[in-house]
Structure 1
Amino acid sequence: MNDSQNDSQSDPKSVSLGPEAASDPILDSLLKGMPEATHEPGGVQTYRVRMSDGAHLATRLYVPAGTGRWPAVLIRYPYPGMRPYLEATADVWTRYGYAVVLQDCRGTGESEGEWIPFENERRDGLDTIGWMLEQPWTNRRIGTYGPSYLSAAQWAMADALPPEVKAMALAGFTTERYRQLYMNGMFRLDVYTGWAIDNAGVPGVPAEGLFAKAIGTVPHIAMDEELFGRKLPWYREWIANVSPEDAYWREGFWAELRDIPGRVRTPVLLVDGWFDQHLDGMTRDYRKLPPATRAASRFILGPWVHSMQASGDYPMPGAERNHLKDALEWFDHHLKGREYPHPTGGVEAYAIGEGRWKRWDGWPEPDGFRTFYLGGGRLNGEPSVAGEAARFRYDPDRPVPTRGGAGLLRYLSGADDAAPAGSVLQPPPGEREDVLTFESEPLAEELPIAGSIRVHLFASSDAEDTAFAANVMEVLPDGRAFNIRDGIVSLAYRGGATRPRPYEPGSVAEADIELWPIVWTIKAGSKLRVDVSSSNFPAYHAHRNVSGPWALQTEKRIANQTIYGGKDRPSRIVVPYKKD
């Protein structure tokens, strides 16, 4: 590899890619459904591109066959195991007349420097774009591309891009980092503890059973030293800073990242799934874009998990989509000046339960709301006159296991103990004594949900702090139930508190949960069901029923919980609907 920031000499060992590369099964799958190629892939050149602080990052350049200057696509990634897939992706882009720069993020793969997740991507990305603009193989029209962390690398520099960067294509990542790690004071173990142990950068640690050991470590703050023999400072920051008001979230990188969408001027193709862990934040990122940028951008929302594929048990006909083709059309328009075949500025969303796609000019605002009141095991149109109470006993050592949902990631590992993501078949009522079930009568007409369902609970506990969780489902006429949305709240962070609030054991508190948005039509004849418990594990940590920072706790207790109903304490769910 070369040791230069500015020259473009290639490695003498560069190779050419010919049509025979199409025998690659990854490449075959990527090319399926794509339009007819316009070019053949050319050679691969390898570089060590010098960053402004002197570190050298391993960089590979893929170009179409022949000579010329090409529009260029930048892809930056930290996962060595992803390289075969991205090499095939680069091959595809060259077949449509694009040069592709594929770069190992700092401290990963063959790149120099220290791996500190997220924090170097802005500087390194901008340095790399500066290098690209000086090369003879580009026509100085650049797009940035890639899902998940590859989108994080784009967001990090999105408000500082030079005018030669004409478009971005992002999927499955948000700038709302705090909201992705926590919901109302409850930490997402499955996603972020799982990600942390997979990206700890400590070689030689057996993977088998590692996640179970991690989430079973008490106090959790000691997990890194017990598993890896050293601290992971960035993970400790995540689990120690529970309040969004903590300086860790309000200052520095994460605060800067959260504000970036409001300053973006480059058109963005946003793609996400209803069951992706970044869904909540990506909907906010879209709405944060300046009006002119949002009008030039596009947001596609499908019934997908983080892999941008449908998963789970609920049928999703017509959910398949060629995301690479979507990106190709986007870049062909912005980098090559071709007509864009779709309207911009709005949201295109898959309506679960209808099996079809809908489009709105902006974020879909509801036409109205329908309220269902909890009481006597039922969801009723009115609260009961008499006060009601339903009780259960919550043991942190026996948490309710996660069954489906959006706040999950470990399923991608294929681990046998990983909770399945998406909408999955739920257990029948009464399977556990620590889960309360409330069910409506069969709906007389369909209920087209669009937006965020809100759960309002009047609750009490004999613990000094605890949690309450809700799982909203559709029950089909044959009795099968499928999860729509779930959420959780700790009493310390009830009412949208940004700092922990004290709770007096035995007192009645209002615990509200705003579930993530969804477009889902419950058909006439189906029922609406809500399960209320105190846990959803390991999607969220199992609350130990004691107050204080969760990752530092060593004690736990069993809590006696009560959910109230009636006119004076109307526990309820409020469902937004939008008709065609």
Structure 2
Amino acid sequence: MSLMSHIIQRQMKLSEPLTRKVVVDRDLRVPMRDGVELLADRWTPKGGAEGLPTALVRCPYGRSGFFGAIMARPLAERGYQVLIQSVRGGFGSGGVMDPMLQEREDGLDTLDWVIEQPWFGDSMVLVGISYLGYVQWAVADSLPPQVKAMIPVVTESALTSEFMRADGRSLELPLEWGALVATQERPFAMFRRNAQTKKTAAALRVLPLQDMDVAATGERSQYIQDVLAHDADDPHWDGIDHRHRVAGTLAPVSSIGGWYDVFLPGQLRDFAILQDAGKPARLTVGPWTHVDLTIPGAAEAVDFGLAYARGEEPAERAPVRLFVMGEDAWRDFESWPPKGYEPQRLHLQSDGGLSVSTPDDSDPDRYHYDPADPTPAAGGISISHGGRVDNGAVEARSDVLTYTTTVLDEDVEVVGEVSAEIWFRSSLAYADVFVRLCDVDEEGRSHNVCDGLIGLTGADELTCATVRLWPTAYLFKRGHRIRVQVSSGAFPRYARNPGTGEPLATATTLLAADQTVHHDPEHPSALILPVRAVPAT
């Protein structure tokens, strides 16, 4: 396993370990209050670990193989004993998995059990990415004093609320995740991964959507059915939202996010709540997607978590550290959103321009949207193929409008919340408005920065669609241009709007629509950027 240790160190950009020899005590039984037992593995440095700080990792993806290697081994090699536990209903743990709705009680019971173990010292740190970070928020306001720090990575306290918005339903993420959970324990699942990925991708086009789980996995998924049937505001999901616990968090928090991560808006909201409540917290956001192995979660568990676990203070740094894309440099700030950035409106113009000038009287721009040939997502927020990509192909489509500034004569730095106000009308009452911010370089190549979508009801009446894009930190360099795309979809990231108003799960009819975007003095469509102009040097 020494080779695996070296590979992980290189891939995750970790410091040298204290040891590469670890041992694993498998299948420890952790009792829950209802009699169900959850299984856990304890990873420790060979030669003794009693009294070392404990890193607790609660995981729905198994305890050995890939997840054990990347979550437990690096920490066990660098000063922790690590308890990695399978959540209810998976990989030998008892009970039935009801995603996210079970983690409060099971998490609290696990904390109580760990503290009572003879090998436990006097300190614990909660560590994990995505779902493994969400489970930390589920218990954050009821932590025992032995928990000295939390390190939630690419996650948030109301984990799936963003992609279940009634006015912007995601499709790709819930199906991919639901299919993963449904198939990950099947025989030879790892060797069938490529085939499963193809089946899942094909299932995204199935209608009605209530049949896509069977198309992807061969069986019904209650989770996928629930996502289709209940939007984020439905009482069905009341138990998954732990936003109300954030202000009462009882341990210092180091939160790590990515500019191209699906959970970024909620993660930034959680950090702002911690700051407003005066809680010890820091934030790091890099140029990462959700599954980027270079996200420094393990390194932060060592640098930040171990310091607190040993009764020390971590190395001093600014509360907020952001990777400013475009400049490709790390910058420190005192808060999120940072001060010194004022909203600037860039108005859509009749000639495809984008400028601070109020638009002249002009006819609206038009495009035809057909959900049977949906506007594709190109990079951006996706687990499997997200990030920054060339947008030339999607911008060449007839169902995408683009508006672009003249060549910038100075750098323009954008850091904070991005939004757009698009005066829009459709030939149908039901339509979506998708807006994407792009950077166009000297060669004319357009790369996506951030984006967002809103679904409209009553779209056949002229209305101002307010679209909240993903937050960002980006430097548009002198000589580049700022571009905004306007379209009516980003498939398969978002579910196709069929234009009929039918329920998402059962809709089968797809209606094409003629869309208009207005830009005149009475209807000043605009992109709104938090801007600080940086004089060119």
TM-score (normalizing by structure 2): 0.91
- Aligned equivalent of 1:307, options 260, 270, 291: 291
Residue 120 of structure 2 aligns with an amino acid whose one-letter code is: T
Q: Distance in 2 between matches of 1:533 and 1:31?
A: 37
Q: Quote the residue 1:378 is aligned against.
A: 353
- Aligned equivalent of 2:440, options 469, 475, 480: 475
Q: Quote the residue 1:368 is aligned against.
A: 342
Shift of the 83–76 alpha-carbon distance from structure 1 to 2, 3 Å rule, reads: farther
Q: Distance in 1 between matches of 2:12 and 2:379?
A: 31
Residues 148-189 of structure 1, C-alpha deviation per residue, up to 9 Å, x if partnerless?
A: 111122121111111111111110111234542145612111
- Aligned equivalent of 1:235, options 224, 241, 251: 224
Q: Distance in 2 between matches of 1:72 and 1:429?
A: 48
Q: Quote the residue 1:434 is aligned against.
A: 399
Q: Distance in 2 between matches of 1:476 and 1:422?
A: 17
Q: Quote the residue 1:168 is aligned against.
A: 150
Higher alpha-carbon deviation: 87-96 or 462-471: 87-96
Q: Quote the residue 1:48 is aligned against.
A: 29
Q: Distance in 1 between matches of 2:80 and 2:498?
A: 54
- Aligned equivalent of 1:389, options 350, 364, 380: 364
Q: Quote the residue 1:102 is aligned against.
A: 84
Query: In the alignment, is residue 463 of structure 1 matched against residue 428 of structure 2?
Result: yes
Shift of the 473–84 alpha-carbon distance from structure 1 to 2, 3 Å rule, reads: closer
Residues 488-534 of structure 1, C-alpha deviation per residue, up to 9 Å, x if partnerless?
A: 11112xxxxxxxxxx163x2111110111100010111111112111
Offset of residue 95 of structure 1: 3.1
1:27-426 equivalence runs, <5 A: 27-29=8-10, 33-35=14-16, 37=18, 41-42=22-23, 44=25, 46-64=27-45, 65-66=47-48, 68-80=50-62, 83-87=65-69, 89-177=71-159, 179-182=161-164, 185-200=167-182, 203=186, 207=196, 209-225=198-214, 228=217, 230-242=219-231, 244-249=232-237, 252-255=238-241, 257-289=242-274, 291=276, 294=279, 296-309=280-293, 322-343=296-317, 346-363=319-336, 364-376=338-350, 377-406=352-381, 408-409=382-383, 411=384, 420-426=385-391
Offset of residue 114 of structure 1: 0.9
SS in 2 for 1:289: helix
Residues 450-473 of structure 1, C-alpha deviation per residue, up to 9 Å, x if partnerless?
A: 112221111111112111211211
Residues 261-291 of structure 1, C-alpha deviation per residue, up to 9 Å, x if partnerless?
A: 1221211111010001111110011112264
Q: Is the 8 A contact 1:105 1:111 kept in 2?
A: yes
Residues 50-81 of structure 1, C-alpha deviation per residue, up to 9 Å, x if partnerless?
A: 22211122211222323642221111111138
Q: Distance in 1 between matches of 2:12 and 2:465?
A: 49
Residues 413-467 of structure 1, C-alpha deviation per residue, up to 9 Å, x if partnerless?
A: xxxxxxx311111116862111111111011211100112221111111112111
Q: Distance in 1 between matches of 2:116 and 2:339?
A: 46
Offset of residue 209 of structure 1: 3.5
SS in 2 for 1:541: coil
Higher alpha-carbon deviation: 523-532 or 171-180: 171-180
Alignment gaps of 5+ in structure 1: 1-19, 310-319, 412-419, 493-502
SS in 2 for 1:253: helix
- Aligned equivalent of 1:450, options 407, 415, 420: 415
Shift of the 109–515 alpha-carbon distance from structure 1 to 2, 3 Å rule, reads: same
Residue 503 of structure 2 aligns with an amino acid whose one-letter code is: P
Q: Distance in 2 between matches of 1:457 and 1:84?
A: 45
Shift of the 224–462 alpha-carbon distance from structure 1 to 2, 3 Å rule, reads: same
Alignment gaps of 5+ in structure 2: none
Identity across aligned pairs (percent)? 27
Residue 261 of structure 2 aligns with an amino acid whose one-letter code is: D
Q: Distance in 2 between matches of 1:325 and 1:458?
A: 46
Q: Quote the residue 2:516 is aligned against.
A: 562
Q: Is the 8 A contact 1:391 1:562 kept in 2?
A: yes
Offset of residue 24 of structure 1: 4.6
Q: Distance in 2 between matches of 1:360 and 1:327?
A: 22
Higher alpha-carbon deviation: 216-225 or 384-393: 216-225
1:524-543 equivalence runs, <5 A: 524-543=478-497
SS in 2 for 1:34: coil
Shift of the 208–177 alpha-carbon distance from structure 1 to 2, 3 Å rule, reads: closer
SS in 2 for 1:466: strand
Q: Distance in 2 between matches of 1:457 and 1:118?
A: 35
Residues 72-99 of structure 1, C-alpha deviation per residue, up to 9 Å, x if partnerless?
A: 1111111138644424543332333322
SS in 1 for 2:485: strand
Q: Is the 8 A contact 2:436 2:469 kept in 1?
A: no
Shift of the 531–24 alpha-carbon distance from structure 1 to 2, 3 Å rule, reads: same
- Aligned equivalent of 1:521, options 464, 475, 486: 475
Residue 234 of structure 2 aligns with an amino acid whose one-letter code is: D
Shift of the 29–442 alpha-carbon distance from structure 1 to 2, 3 Å rule, reads: same
Q: Quote the residue 1:8 is aligned against.
A: none
SS in 2 for 1:424: coil
Q: Distance in 2 between matches of 1:248 and 1:268?
A: 29
Q: Distance in 1 between matches of 2:77 and 2:515?
A: 61
SS in 2 for 1:57: strand
SS in 1 for 2:388: coil
Q: Distance in 1 between matches of 2:128 and 2:520?
A: 50
Shift of the 579–332 alpha-carbon distance from structure 1 to 2, 3 Å rule, reads: farther
Q: Is the 8 A contact 1:448 1:522 kept in 2?
A: yes
TM-score (normalizing by structure 1): 0.84
Q: Is the 8 A contact 2:454 2:465 kept in 1?
A: yes
Q: Distance in 2 between matches of 1:89 and 1:509?
A: 48
SS in 2 for 1:116: coil
Q: Distance in 2 between matches of 1:96 and 1:76?
A: 19
Q: Distance in 2 between matches of 1:530 and 1:67?
A: 55
Higher alpha-carbon deviation: 29-38 or 90-99: 29-38
Count residues with an aligned counterpart: 524
Shift of the 136–579 alpha-carbon distance from structure 1 to 2, 3 Å rule, reads: farther
Residue 331 of structure 1 aligns with an amino acid whose one-letter code is: G
Offset of residue 480 of structure 1: 1.0
SS in 1 for 2:225: helix
Q: Is the 8 A contact 1:470 1:533 kept in 2?
A: yes
Shift of the 264–287 alpha-carbon distance from structure 1 to 2, 3 Å rule, reads: same
1:8-27 equivalence runs, <5 A: 21=2, 24-27=5-8
